[in-house]
Amino acid sequence: MNLFDQISNDIKNAMLAKDKLRLETLRGIKKEFLEAKTAKGSDGELSDDIAMKILVKMVKQRKDSAQIYIEQNRPELAESELGEAKVIEEYLPKQMTEAELEAELKNIIAEVGATSAKDMGKVMGVASKKLAGRAEGKAISAKVKELLA
């Protein structure tokens, strides 16, 4: 079962369970998926790779919004955003630990033959593709800088 079908199925389950937060979040995900499916230049299909990118983007948006709400002293809104982010994260692969990320990046650095900070672009290109959905871009970038310094 692909992610789109899984989300559709989970919407039904959330309705039956009367889980309002989960239902609204899943409907938001499905909306994004449908927009990607019907976007100009799309073939009408939604691969799991594209779906993962959409989910990663949605989690980042929720966390950024929550941070803004916290800064503006609106904890109830921040809590809602973080709750949605948590639901979306259930559909992403397990996030890498710091040690796993470092080990994976060392392999990538050796693979592309990077030796200095000048090679960061090469490393980031490969790392972004390999680690998509399993680590945040900011964390990858910071660790690559540290390892190439």
pLDDT at 42 > cutoff 90: no
In this structure, the answer to whether residues 79 and 103 fall within a common structural domain is no
| Contact partners, residue 135, CB within 8 Å, separation at least 6 | 95, 96, 101
Q: What is the CATH number of the domain that holds 34?
A: 1.10.1510.10
Provide the percentage of residues in the chain whose pLDDT is more than 90: 41
Whether residue 64 sits in one domain with residue 20:
yes
Residues of the domain holding 143: 98-148
Instruction: Tell how far CA 117 is from the center of its chain.
Output: 26
pTM, rounded to two decimals? 0.75
Q: In this structure, what CATH number is given to the domain that contains residue 138?
A: 1.10.10.410
Do 46 and 111 belong to one domain?
Answer: no
**Residue-wise pLDDT tens digits, 57-90:** 999 999 999 999 999 999 999 999 999 999 999 9
Residue 77 structure tokens: 């809104």
